[in-house]
Structure 1
Amino acid sequence: MKKTILRGSALWMRPLAEQDIAPILKYASAPEIAANTFVPQPYPPKAAQEFVRKVSKEWQSGQAYTFAIIEAQSGCFAGVMGIHPVPEHKRAEVGYWIGLPFWGRGLATQALRLVIQFGFEELGLNRIAAGHFADNPASGRVMQKAGMRCEGARRAYHYHRDSFKDSVWYAILREEYGTDGTR
């Protein structure tokens, strides 16, 4: 697939590149990011480089599409969002994180809307899902604002930082896409 660029009013998204290594290292090292993701903590210096290399290969093979989120106003790297399709079932899962300086600006919601659009319109998916740790309800609000519906909780679903965590799952179907003005 070509190097897709997604554009919104407050941000634009492009495939991750080597220029993103330094900001990934900076933002992913924050304990608040590690608390809500599977990003290693402490974040090893080579981890960002390995991550960019891995997701670039996944993009080339069509295994997954991981985008850098760039704030339009500043031109600064703000976070990461990836969509991981399962083509034989026409579905995908989305994962993301936003750097702390960019929290509360609506970037995650806008980025998720763009990735949902990409999934339905470019990848031909029928279902897109995302989950969050139950103790991170802000991420659930992002999913709701992007048009996803809560499908329920999975108890002790993830083993994270030496304990089991519940996770809450949301999804949107192609037939629901755009019906609430999120298109």
Structure 2
Amino acid sequence: MSLFPAEMHSDRLRYERLHPDDNDPLDLYAHVNTDAPAIDEITEYVTWDAYETPKQARDWIATCGEQFDAGEAATYVVRPRSGERAGEFAGLTGIHPDWDRRLATIGVWFRKPFWGRGYSGERAGRLLALAFDRLDLNVVAVTHDPDNERSARAISKYVDRFGGRREGHVRNAEVIGGEPRDAIRYSISADEWADNREA
């Protein structure tokens, strides 16, 4: 049995593992290539660049599959469960445990048509349940670029909801476009989750 579920659900969203057994690289490539709609806005604050070839999508899916099978990390395709865009590729989310520290880092990116729908917070709640209820971790951390006001609002909202805290400004925390960038870091503990999970 895998440490991570192959599929999960929340109220409005479905999460399917990103894995070579399940995903066509050309489907991913259609949403992350240099000509994809709004790709410059999507990639402005993330740690990856738009793909120039389908091979990059294939290689990323292979890496995610290896991590999933080894119990190192899980990356999921996020799709709405209902509505006019039901089943459509909305974005990717992931959980990356550091087993020795009993800590996981979570992240997400969405295609622009799915911004502003509250999906980030819903998805965070599902990954927190995975981290604390299934993986028995102690802390979940999340970061955003200091200039990314959209992520700051979304993350602050769900971190407050689940009783977590803003830990501070971490210098040279990420590399974006080949350059070190600062990050704002937040965390939620297992105890905070247990006290606030129904919020």
Tell me if both proteins adopt one fold, taking TM over 0.5 as the criterion: yes
Query: How far does the alpha carbon of each residue in 1:33-76 deviate from its partner, in whole angstroms, 9 at most, with x for none?
Result: 22111122354322111111110110000000111111111111
The one-letter code matched in structure 1 to 2:137 is: L
- Tell me what 1:45 maps to: 54
Partner of 1:71 in structure 2? 80
Please name the residue that 1:9 is paired with.
11
Helix, strand or coil: the match of 1:146? helix
Q: Aligned pair 1:21/2:37, yes or no?
A: no
Q: What secondary structure sits across from 1:145 in the alignment?
A: helix
Residue 96 (str. 1) matches residue 108 (str. 2): yes
| Conserved? CA contact 1:16–1:52, under 8 Å | yes
State how 1:1-183 maps to structure 2 within 5 Å.
1=2, 3-17=5-19, 18-19=22-23, 21-29=25-33, 30-73=39-82, 74-147=86-159, 148-161=164-177, 163-181=179-197
- The Cα offsets for residues 98-119 of structure 1, whole Å up to 9 and x where unpaired, read as 1111111111211111011100
**2:44 partner SS:** helix
Q: How many residues align?
A: 183
Aligned counterparts of 2:92 and 2:157: Cα–Cα separation in 1: 18
Change (3 A) 1:26 1:32: farther
Q: Distance in 2 between matches of 1:79 and 1:140?
A: 18
Identity among equivalent positions (%) equals 26
Give the structure-2-normalised TM-score.
0.83
The AA in structure 2 aligned to 1:11 is L
CA distance in 1, matches of 2:149, 2:196: 21
**What SS does structure 2 have at the residue aligned with 1:59?**
helix
Contact 2:23 2:61 in 1 (8 A): no
CA distance, structure 2, for counterparts of residue 156 and residue 15 of structure 1: 30
Distance of 1:104 and 1:43 partners within structure 2: 28
Alignment partners' CA distance in 1, 2:27 and 2:40: 15
Aligned-residue CA RMSD (Å) = 2.0
Letter of the 1:94 counterpart: I
Structure 1 unpaired stretches of 5+: none
Partners of 1:178 and 1:22 lie apart in 2 by 40
Alpha-carbon distance, 1:182 to partner: 5.1
Q: 1:143 to 1:182 in 2, by over 3 A?
A: farther
> 1:143, CA displacement in angstroms?
2.1
